Structure 1
Amino acid sequence: MKKFLNRRNAVLAMVVLIAAAFLGFKSGDDRNFQIAKNLEIFNSIVKELDMFYVDTIDPNKTIREGIDNMLYSLDPYTVYYPENDQDELEMMLKGSYGGIGSIIRYKPELKYTMIVEPYEGMPAAESGLKPGDLLLEIDGKDLKGNSDVSTLLRGQVNTSFKLKVKRPGVKDPLEFTIVRRSIQMPTIPYYAMMDNQVGYINLNSFSGNPSKDFKKAFLDLKKQGITSLVIDIRDNGGGLLEQAVEIANYFLPRGKVIVTTKGKVKQASSTYKTLREPLDLDIPIAVLVNSGTASASEILSGALQDLDRAVIIGNRTFGKGLVQVPRSLPYGGNMKVTTSKYYIPSGRCVQAIDYKHRNEDGSVGTIPDSLTSVFHTAAGREVRDGGGVTPDITIKQERLPNIVYYLLRDDLIFDYATDYCLKHPTIASAEDFKLTDADYEEFKKKVKAADFKYDQQSEKILKTLKEAAEFEGYMSEASDEFKALEKKLNHNLDRDLDYFSKDIKEILALEIVKRYYYKRGAIIEQLKGDKGMEEAVKVLTSPERYKEILTVPVAEKK
């Protein structure tokens, strides 16, 4: 016992000496030591693996995975881009890249990549590529089994290549010579004057220079005689913060603070104000948002809400209040790193997820409403932080039926649209197009012929309930009730195709119109019966209601 006490006292004495030694360091010196120590350990691990691991390791792959996991433990937006993977970063910053301009998708069951959506006016579309084309060869190289065809399609601007494709409905392969161009994604794919002199601008990105296109569209609409404006930024994932400030400036006085960034280092903290004279301070504005509205989109919508300049309509936005900047790394690499949080005019931050305080299992959750704080707009209206931008008018977000998800997953809607285009060289304008009952009957036949199977949530839940009832001993008493319920919930494809025909027809029409009129046509089709747009028109054509929404209720004034 005495020996144990002496040993314990010796250990305690050693711990005290070590603690005293470390306390002698300044906190900065200790931090530098910890970084240097762990870098040396990491370096040694890689060398030991390379020398002794049973199989030969790929240093690029192994270390890249280590880097990616390290960065992801911080947040999903801090990302490393090696020298040979700069296209995505360039796309985010400039909104452009060298390529053919098309969405593609690898089809595992066919082992080939397929053209999904060519962009209007881009090389893929101008060369004649169509959705459904399977990419067989590039410059004679067989693409079967290659799931990374995008790297072959992208390249230096003005370089050309030969592409062989297999087109549905065409017996022999087709060959195209395509010249790569700088692919600039359209930031304003559609704008128009709607009924009641309401202007509409669809803004789908803040990458590149969208403020220039937005200004041009708005001034054109003014010439056409609009008296109010809808800005649609639903599913706009953001981009450049400065572009959001520039567009906000079109409708706000010079000198207004739009956003403030606050970071650990001085250069990460800035205040962004409107620097120019506005285009229009009086036109009524409605902004359409949803859960896909994020980052720079939330700066624009949040600033217009905080300064009582627009009515926000839709669903609560995503809640990304973090700012990233690119940092150069050795050997041509770059890192997009989160350097600060941003705060909109009321002083609130819209960040919804607290990545710093994680659960024990490493997961993160959204900040509960009970922990958010109240802020006030310029007029004194209450707004909250910590969960995106809450709209002034909430539109119920409709969920797609389960059957639609499986029809999309199995490409039955995509394939029907491909067949439809083969039979119809032209269709009515996007505004006038309508899927007929005969068209839908033909689609139903194709679905049945494909032996389509899908999971019904009610069947899954019933199965789980039966298992629980059996485990708890209730099954014998409730067996008749379960049999009756099973009969009612019996899988009936005919019934579901009819019952959910409205939703399915809308998706079918959207896919078909997109084939002929690209993104612009898809937006026109989506606006038909759009509840958010309908609500925006109601508000903008009712000056009294518009003013009431942007004013503090009398009961709240002090």
Structure 2
Amino acid sequence: MPLNRPKLPLSSGKATARTRVAPLALKVLFSGLLVPGLLFIGVPNASAQTQTQAQSTDAASQDAANGLPVEDVQTFAEVFERIKRAYVEPVDDKTLLRNAMRGMLSQLDPHSEYLDADAFENLRETTEGEFSGVGIEVGLRDDQLTVIAPIDDTPAARAGIQPGDRILAIDGTPTNNLSLQEAVDLMRGDAGTELELTLLRDGEQEPRTLTLTRASIQSESVSSRLLEPGYGYLRISQFQSRTGEQTRDALTSLMQKGPLQGLVLDLRNNPGGVLSSATDVVDQFLTQGLIVYTKGRLADEDLRFSAHAAGTTAPNVPLVVLINGGSASAAEIVAGALQDQHRGVLMGTQSFGKGSVQQVLPLGNGDGLKLTTARYYTPSGRSIQAEGITPDVRVVRGRLEVEDDAGLQLRESNLRGHLLNGDPSEARQNPDTPIAADDYQLGEALNLLKALNVVKRPAGGTVAPTK
């Protein structure tokens, strides 16, 4: 099918792949790439080589004008022809040139890559939240294919795959000699087909093999619920094109159930996504102030994003933001802005540390480039590239276990003949919340919100007694 060339958003997504490639772009800068000097395609004979050498002096004099290292271009042509002539199997010119372009980009940084038409279409689908696969973001860490984050409610998440899991083999094929794109291609497939992954987790001695069934995934990036009356939970799993709108709707729905005394914004294992959606989310909590700015070599890459009072939904709700090592890119933009603007308390563990921006640039042949063009900075001027964001309160993943005899304590209510509370018709319920047992970090976030509300209570003597 023909490939439309949409204007894709400014990418703050990691050099990742899922069974998909993570997005993030804002505008298209140009639609073609001119490489002057690569005119040599045919196989040269000896006289042609001699003629080329004789012309090297003239070419060298032109080098200062066009900026090309002529000797390196000649070496490239020589390598190209030797592969054509001597490689064990025939290789066509198109394949060699595509591979050369892929290598040109892959050696720049982990996030720049050449996108063929299928990968380009896959990127578009990802920004819209619809794709087929198992639902994991992957990248290369220390030259090892590594899970960046599983996507919520996907086969990978349900199978218990965690950030940091190393993928040793895909359907029996070792990954140590695969490029990121090759690994992604192996993991792609139609819904209903099976994928076998061999994984090794830090601290484990033996790898484990999981068989996952690919699914057609239509992921909603935002979910919400009440943890307790007055305390909301907002989960953003990734930043898609409609995440800002979905966040506004979720906050409105929570506040319609009663005044919010606190909100947990969960960005754990959020691999990033569309930058404009990230700024829209921050705008829900800030009435003014800088959100993020970018700096690149081109003037068009120097951008600033600020909050506006008109777009704010919950400007005064106490906020705790959960982050971890799977929080990357656009998720770090949100966390960094809220931290620098003192709008919320960050809790969890150090974030991933991707502070670069990618542009998706369409090419005339229907393919595209994902090219790193800028770095982004938090409002205070921090670049979190390769460092990440440090939470205000460090809380690691854990499991809460309640002692067997913890509930066997003598209280006034256990004494025979005890006085009843003022109005026995009013049922008083204070059950222990199970949240901390299921999710220790979330339980601690809820406890912190409650503590913040205790501190905000009026001073003694200002609260009238109830009758």
TM-score, normalised relative to structure 2: 0.58
Secondary structure, aligned partner of 2:84: helix
The answer on 1:153 being equivalent to 2:190 is yes
Which segment is superposed worse, 206-215 or 57-66?
A: 57-66
The answer on 1:203 being equivalent to 2:236 is yes
1:423-502 to 2 correspondence within 5 Å? none
The answer on 1:218 being equivalent to 2:251 is yes
C-alpha spacing 1:41/1:398, structure 2 compared with 1 (3 Å): farther
C-alpha spacing 1:199/1:145, structure 2 compared with 1 (3 Å): closer
Q: Could you tell me how far apart the structure 2 residues matched to 1:305 and 1:243 are? A: 18
Measured after TM superposition, the shift of residue 39 of structure 1 is: 4.2
Instruction: State the superposition RMSD in angstroms.
Output: 3.9
Higher helix share: 1
Secondary structure, aligned partner of 1:252: coil
Percent identity between matched residues is 30
Q: Could you tell me how far apart the structure 1 residues matched to 2:275 and 2:112 are? A: 16
C-alpha spacing 1:217/1:31, structure 2 compared with 1 (3 Å): farther
Q: Could you tell me how far apart the structure 2 residues matched to 1:258 and 1:250 are? A: 11
1:227 counterpart (255, 258, 261): 261
1:432 aligns to what?
none
Q: Could you tell me how far apart the structure 2 residues matched to 1:164 and 1:69 are? A: 31
Cα deviation code 1:279-331 (max 9, x no counterpart): 12111000000011000000001000000000000001111110001011242
Measured after TM superposition, the shift of residue 61 of structure 1 is: 5.2
Secondary structure, aligned partner of 1:542: helix
Query: 2:396 is matched by which residue type in structure 1?
Result: K
The answer on 1:262 being equivalent to 2:295 is yes
1:307-346 to 2 correspondence within 5 Å? 307-346=341-380
Contact 2:251–2:313 (CA<8 Å) still a contact in 1? Answer: no
C-alpha spacing 1:118/1:218, structure 2 compared with 1 (3 Å): closer
C-alpha spacing 1:199/1:342, structure 2 compared with 1 (3 Å): same
Secondary structure, aligned partner of 1:313: strand
Q: Could you tell me how far apart the structure 1 residues matched to 2:325 and 2:65 are? A: 40
Q: Could you tell me how far apart the structure 2 residues matched to 1:200 and 1:223 are? A: 14
Secondary structure, aligned partner of 1:267: helix
Measured after TM superposition, the shift of residue 223 of structure 1 is: 0.9
Higher relative contact order (CA 8 A, sep 6+): 2
Where in structure 1 are there 5+ consecutive unaligned residues? 1-17, 105-116, 125-129, 132-143, 155-162, 166-179, 353-386, 400-524, 548-558
Cα deviation code 1:422-454 (max 9, x no counterpart): xxxxxxxxxxxxxxxxxxxxxxxxxxxxxxxxx
Secondary structure, aligned partner of 2:252: helix
TM-score, normalised relative to structure 1: 0.49
Contact 2:397–2:440 (CA<8 Å) still a contact in 1? Answer: no
Q: Could you tell me how far apart the structure 2 residues matched to 1:350 and 1:541 are? A: 30
1:41-190 to 2 correspondence within 5 Å? 41-57=75-91, 59=93, 62-97=96-131, 99=132, 153=190, 184-188=218-222, 190=223
Cα deviation code 1:364-391 (max 9, x no counterpart): xxxxxxxxxxxxxxxxxxxxxxx21111
Query: 1:244 is matched by which residue type in structure 2?
Result: A
2:440 aligns to what?
531
Secondary structure, aligned partner of 2:358: strand
Q: Could you tell me how far apart the structure 2 residues matched to 1:41 and 1:318 are? A: 39
1:293 counterpart (306, 327, 334): 327
Secondary structure, aligned partner of 2:311: coil
Measured after TM superposition, the shift of residue 184 of structure 1 is: 3.4
Measured after TM superposition, the shift of residue 205 of structure 1 is: 0.3
Asked which structure has the greater CA Rg, the reply is 1
1:191 aligns to what?
224
Measured after TM superposition, the shift of residue 60 of structure 1 is: 5.4
C-alpha spacing 1:313/1:31, structure 2 compared with 1 (3 Å): farther
Q: Could you tell me how far apart the structure 1 residues matched to 2:298 and 2:327 are? A: 28
Contact 1:96–1:208 (CA<8 Å) still a contact in 2? Answer: no
Q: Could you tell me how far apart the structure 2 residues matched to 1:273 and 1:280 are? A: 16
Q: Could you tell me how far apart the structure 2 residues matched to 1:327 and 1:45 are? A: 28
Query: 2:314 is matched by which residue type in structure 1?
Result: D
Where in structure 2 are there 5+ consecutive unaligned residues? 1-55, 137-149, 160-170, 174-182, 195-214, 400-433, 457-467
Q: Could you tell me how far apart the structure 1 residues matched to 2:389 and 2:193 are? A: 47
Cα deviation code 1:217-252 (max 9, x no counterpart): 111111112321101010101011111111100110
1:391 aligns to what?
391
Q: How many residues align?
A: 309
C-alpha spacing 1:388/1:329, structure 2 compared with 1 (3 Å): same
Contact 1:82–1:333 (CA<8 Å) still a contact in 2? Answer: yes
Cα deviation code 1:444-500 (max 9, x no counterpart): xxxxxxxxxxxxxxxxxxxxxxxxxxxxxxxxxxxxxxxxxxxxxxxxxxxxxxxxx
Query: 1:79 is matched by which residue type in structure 2?
Result: E
Contact 1:202–1:231 (CA<8 Å) still a contact in 2? Answer: yes
C-alpha spacing 1:145/1:263, structure 2 compared with 1 (3 Å): closer
Query: 2:269 is matched by which residue type in structure 1?
Result: D
2:275 aligns to what?
241
C-alpha spacing 1:103/1:272, structure 2 compared with 1 (3 Å): closer
The answer on 1:283 being equivalent to 2:317 is yes
C-alpha spacing 1:526/1:318, structure 2 compared with 1 (3 Å): farther
Query: 1:350 is matched by which residue type in structure 2?
Result: I
Query: 1:217 is matched by which residue type in structure 2?
Result: A
Which segment is superposed worse, 259-268 or 44-53?
A: 44-53
